[in-house]
Chains A and B, each alone.
Chain A
Amino acid sequence: MRKISFFVTLLLLILVLIPYGYSQQEDFTPMQDEDKFRDELTGFNRETNTLMSDFRQVKHLDILTENIISRGKFYFMKENKLRWEYTDPFDYTIIFNGNDILIRDEDRESQYNTDSNRMFRQISRLMSNVIRGEILEEKEEFSVDCFENKREYLIILTPTTEQYQQFFQKIEVHFGQHDMLVKKVKFIEQSEDYTLIEFFNEKRNETIPDSIFLIQ
C-alpha cells in the first residue's frame, strides 16, 4: 500500500513538473514590437566595426549517445572579414575575406573563391549575417519569426529554398536584449540532429589586427 502511494505521489510530482519544465524552455512569446527590434538591430550593426568572442560548439547526432564538443574563437571586422577558428580538439581555421576563403586544416592550406564555390558563398554569407545579427537580411531564403522573453530575443529562420533545406530544418538565433549581441545559434537539421554554438567573452569594437584576416 505504501509502495502504491509512493508511486502515485511520484507520478503526480512528474505531472506537475513536466509542464513547468516545458514552460521554462518555451517561455518565448511572439515579439510585441518587431519594428523596435529591427531598429535596435540596425543601430547595433551600424555602430559595430569589430566583434570577437570565444565559442563552444555542441554537435548532437542522434546516433551518438554523447555530444561532440569543440571550442574556438571568432573574429569579425566590417564589412566582410570573418575568422572562425577551432582550437580544441583540433586545429581548423576558416577565413572569409571579401570573396576569398582560406582554410587551414592543421598543416594543410586551401584557398577558394566564393564566386566559384556556391557552398562556401552560402556558408560565408550565412555565418557573417548570423554573427553580425543581420539575419533579417536573409528573407529571400528564409521565413523569419520573432519571439522574446524577459532576457532574450529569439529569431527563428525557416529555409524556403532547397539549397538550405538540405542542411537545415530551421535556425534559431538568440540575442541578449541588453546588448543585442548574439548569445547562441542553433542549426537544426531535418533529422532533428543539431549544432548549437554558444558565445562567451564577447568583445565589441575592440582593435583586431587586419593581419589575422590575411589570405596570401
Chain B
Amino acid sequence: MRSGMKRFLIRFFLFSSLTFLVSGSCTMKRLSLLPVEDPGMITPINRPFSSSGTELLYKAQINISGNHYSGLFAIRIFPDEMYRVVFLNELGMKFFDLETGSNGLIVHHCFDAFQRTGIRKVLEETLNTLFLTGKPFEKGEALITHSGDYTVYPVTSGGKKFCFVSNSSGNLERIVKQGCFSKKMIIEFADYNQFPVDIHISFPQKKIEIILHSLENQHGNTLSE
C-alpha cells in the first residue's frame, strides 16, 4: 500500500512538472506575439485552394509508418467548395480517389493499404484542413510577430484547436492542429504561385507524412495535351 502511494506521488510529481514545463513554454511562445491594434491593417487570409474549376497536379510522397508511396496527386476544385483528390502511382494505378466538401468525405476508390480506419481518418482530416472544408473554421483575435511579417490566428473547428500563420501577403504558411501536449498535425505551405508550390503535411505522433510538390510550376508548362 505504501509503495503504491509512493508510486502515485512520484507520478503526480512528474506529471505536475511536465504540465508546468509545457504551459510555461506555451506562455513563452505567446509572449513573442503582439495583439493587433488596428485589425484593418492586417491582410486577410487567402484560402490556399479556392478557385472553382481549377485543376492541379502535384508530385506526391506519402510515408505511413515506414511504408513509402509515391505518385501523383490530382486536385480538382468544384463549385460550392467541393474538392476531389486522386492519388495514383507513376504507373497510373489509383491508390485513392476521395471527395470532400460540405457533405463530408465520399470515397470513390481506396486501395487496401489506405482502407484502415486510422488512415482514412487521417486522410479526411488532412483534406478538411488543407481545403478548409468540413466543420467551420472560426478565427479568434489575430496576433502579429514583432517584425510584423506574420499574423497568427487561433482557430477552432468542431472543438479542435488550430493555429494559422499567414504572411504579409495573406498567404497561409502554416497550419498547426494543437493537441493537449503536442502538435497533432502540421501543414506547411511554401512558394506560392497562385497556389502553393510545396506542401508538407505531417502527423508527428502517428509517423505519417505527406509531401506535395507542384509539377506544373516546376516545369513551367502544362502536363496535359
On A, residues with C-beta under 8 Å from B are: 57-59, 61, 63-70, 84, 86, 89-90, 92, 94, 103, 105, 108, 110, 123, 127, 166-167, 187, 189-191, 193, 195
Contacts and interface: CB of A to CB of B under 8 A. Distances in A.
Contact of A69 (B94, B109, B223): B223
B109 A191 contact: yes
Contacts of A103: 70
Given A65-B55, A66-B225, A69-B225, A92 B70 contact: yes
B223 A68 contact: yes
Contacts of A64: 55, 74, 76, 224
A111 B213 CA distance: 23
Given A70-B90, A89-B223, A110 B74 contact: no
Main secondary structure of the interface of B (DSSP, over half): strand
Given A89-B215, A191-B109, A66 B222 contact: yes
A63 B92 contact: no
Contacts of B88: 59
Contact of B55 (A66, A84, A89): A66
Nearest to B61: A105
Nearest to A66: B224
Nearest to A106: B59
A185 to B, nearest CB: 11
Nearest to A123: B91
Nearest to A167: B93
B66 to A, nearest CB: 11
A63 B224 contact: no
21 contacts: A57-B92, A59-B72, A63-B55, A63-B74, A64-B224, A66-B55, A66-B222, A69-B223, A70-B223, A86-B90, A89-B218, A90-B215, A92-B70, A92-B90, A108-B61, A123-B93, A167-B93, A187-B92, A189-B94, A191-B109, A193-B94
Interface string B29-63: 00000000000000000000000000101010100
- Chain A to chain B: the 7 pairs with minimum beta-carbon distance, closest first: A66-B224, A195-B92, A63-B76, A92-B90, A63-B84, A59-B92, A105-B70
B127 to A, nearest CB: 14
B8 interface: no
B144 to A, nearest CB: 37
B160 interface: no
A66 B74 CA distance: 11
B123 to A, nearest CB: 17
Nearest to A92: B90
Given A57-B92, A68-B72, A189-B94, 20 more contacts: A59-B72, A61-B86, A63-B97, A64-B76, A68-B74, A68-B223, A69-B224, A86-B90, A89-B223, A92-B70, A92-B90, A94-B91, A103-B70, A167-B93, A167-B94, A189-B109, A190-B109, A193-B94, A195-B92, A195-B93
Interface in B58-103: 59, 61, 68, 70, 72, 74, 76, 84, 86, 88, 90-94, 97
B6 interface: no
B108 interface: yes
A61 B93 CA distance: 11
B220 to A, nearest CB: 10
Contacts of A66: 55, 222, 224-225
A91 B40 CA distance: 47
A59 B94 CA distance: 11
Nearest to B218: A89
Contacts of A70: 90, 223
B146 interface: no
A61 B61 CA distance: 20
B219 interface: yes
A151 to B, nearest CB: 24
Nearest to A88: B219
A110 B68 CA distance: 9
